[in-house]
Structures are given as structure tokens and as C-alpha cells.
Copies of this chain bind each other. A is one copy, B any other.
Amino acid sequence: MLRTPLLSAPWAGGLALKPESLQPTGSFKVRGALNAVAALDPQERARGVVTHSSGNHAQALAWAAQAYGAAATVVMPESAAPVKVAATKALGAHVVMVPPAQRDSTVHKLRDESGLAFISPFDHRDVIAGAGTVGLEIAADHLEFDTVLVPVGGGGLISGIGVAMKALAPHVRVVAVEPELAADLAESMAAGERIAWDTALTYRTIADGVRLPVVGEVTWPHIQAHVDEVVTVPDDAILEAMALVTARSRVVAEPTGALAAAAYLADPQRYGNAVAVVTGGNADPTLLSRVLNDHVQ
């Protein structure tokens, strides 16, 4: 795991980036996965861990389990990209492909019948605590700022960052960022209760890391306690920010990784001096090539 630096982004005014793209496996997810695997008692760990993910958490948990010599099983939907399946297997994980509708039942069966420890991608206290180290590092590096912008899918990352920031730098506004096309948290915050979207609706956004119908049961109270505001951005702004972060700050951002920077760029005055978390850099090379061509110079 990497203690990532904070990068000032003078091309975007008062913006600094927290480049989690630089982590092993390319996203912040290693922080939560490693903390959760480390927190298991040795007997639990020896039985192995299981999760479901078609994305960055899959590789992160495989990586964390490998670091501890533990067995990892990852349940993936049959629609998962072959390159992500291969990357997860390359890290030593056992991959079980299932129809999307059987995802949860398969995980529960492996947990209950084989005794595997279920490490949720976000709805797990040790995963949230691990993700929160992003906030601890930001506060250690830099307190002269006004806003931290954090992408939200299940809410694990912002739950951890929110706790850290409110403890260490309570003057900093914690802003959640969602795609307009998967804005279940904005709706939930307005309603004061968790509102789920149809999964199919959330799949319209290019930001595949936050295509979740609703935030978690464990993360929701964290979000209610520590998040000051939710903003949404359209997909074309996400793609433009992906190109700009990659070309101008020289760190690759996947679409979800560019969400927070996209929110800042839409209204820099509103956020003052801000830190945007670049959650990951596992961009499809064809997409990255296209957005660089379309949006820079």
C-alpha cells in the first residue's frame, strides 16, 4: 500500500488531487481490503475471504489476501470485463462467475457453508476505517483548504474520510459527488432516508465504480453525520475531467476517478481551496485514448 502524496493542480486554480491511482491494483480499494484482512483473527483468515465485485474491490481483496497468504474467492457477474477477471485471477484469487441475480446468494452460501469471511466492498467497518486513511493523510499533509470532494457509490470511502476530516479538520466541508445518472444519494439525503434506484438506471453512467442502487446500511449513518452536501455531475463533464486530470496532472484517472475533479471544475468558486480524491486509474485504454483526443488541445 502506498502513502500517496497530495498533488497541487495549478491548471485548475485552487485544486489539489489525492492520486489513489498510484496504489497497487490502481485504486483506493487496497486500503479497506488490507485493513479488513489484517483485522481478521488468524483462524478466520485461514478459512479465507469472499466478496462480490466486478471492479476495483475484486483486485484489491485478491491483493490483500495474497499479502497475508490467505485464500480469496471473488464472485463476479458473467458480464464482467474479461480483462478484470484475468487481473483478479492473476493475483491468486478464485473467481466464481454467476448471473448477476445470483450474486448475493452465492456470497452468502460461501460464507455460511464454507466459513469464508465476507468482506463487503463498502458496508463493513474495517473497510470504512481503511478507506478513512485517505482522510488522515490529507489532514496530515495540508489543512489550509476548505473542501474535500469524494466520489460516492456504496459510501465506504466518504464514510471513512468524513470521520477523519471532522475529527482533524472540522472546518473542512465534506462534499459527496455522484453522476447525475446514478444520483441515489442526492435523493436519499433530500428525503432523509435511503432511497434505492433501479440498478439498470445506475448502469447508464460511464462511471462504473459508482453504479450502485443505494448506499450501504453501515455507511448511511456515517454519511448523515459527516457529509455536508451532495453534488451531481453529467457524464460529459466526467469524461472531460478524466482527460484533463490525465494530461495536466499526469496521473491517469478512470471515469469514477475523475468524478470529484469534474465537480470542482464545474464551479471552482463554490469550493474554494479543495482536495479532490482521484479514486482510481484503471481506465480502459481505448476510452482514455479517445477522451485525450476529444478533450485536450
Chain A positions near chain B (C-beta within 8 angstroms): 2-5, 7-8, 10, 19, 21-22, 24, 26, 83, 243, 246-247, 250-252, 281-286, 288-290, 292-293, 296-297
Would you call B285 and A293 a contact (CB within 8 A)? yes
Q: Once the chains are docked, how many angstroms separate the CA of A19 from the CA of B243?
A: 19
**7 shortest interchain CB distances as A-B pairs:** A250-B281, A285-B296, A250-B252, A289-B292, A21-B250, A289-B293, A289-B289
Supply 27 A–B pairs (Cβ within 8 Å), ascending by A: A3-B5, A5-B5, A7-B22, A19-B22, A21-B250, A21-B251, A22-B250, A22-B251, A26-B250, A243-B285, A246-B252, A247-B252, A247-B285, A250-B252, A250-B281, A250-B282, A251-B251, A251-B252, A252-B252, A285-B293, A285-B296, A285-B297, A286-B293, A286-B297, A288-B289, A288-B292, A289-B289
Contacts of A7 on B, CB cut-off 8 Å? 2, 22
Would you call A5 and B24 a contact (CB within 8 A)? no
Which of A285, A288, A293 has the most B CB atoms < 10 Å from its CB?
A285
Contacts of A293 on B, CB cut-off 8 Å? 285-286, 289
The number of times this chain is found in the oligomer is 2
Instruction: For residue A281, give the distance in angstroms from its CB to the closest CB of chain B.
Output: 3
17 other contacts beyond A284-B297, A285-B292, A286-B297, with CB at 8 A cut-off? A2-B5, A3-B5, A4-B5, A5-B5, A5-B22, A21-B250, A21-B251, A22-B250, A26-B250, A246-B252, A247-B283, A247-B285, A247-B288, A250-B282, A285-B297, A289-B289, A289-B293
Q: Once the chains are docked, how many angstroms separate the CA of A286 from the CA of B296?
A: 8
Q: Once the chains are docked, how many angstroms separate the CA of A19 from the CA of B252?
A: 13
Instruction: For residue A236, give the distance in angstroms from its CB to the closest CB of chain B.
Output: 18
Q: Once the chains are docked, how many angstroms separate the CA of A159 from the CA of B250?
A: 26
Instruction: For residue A258, give the distance in angstroms from its CB to the closest CB of chain B.
Output: 13
Would you call B247 and A250 a contact (CB within 8 A)? no
Q: With CB as the reference atom, state the residue of chain B lying closest to A292.
A: B289
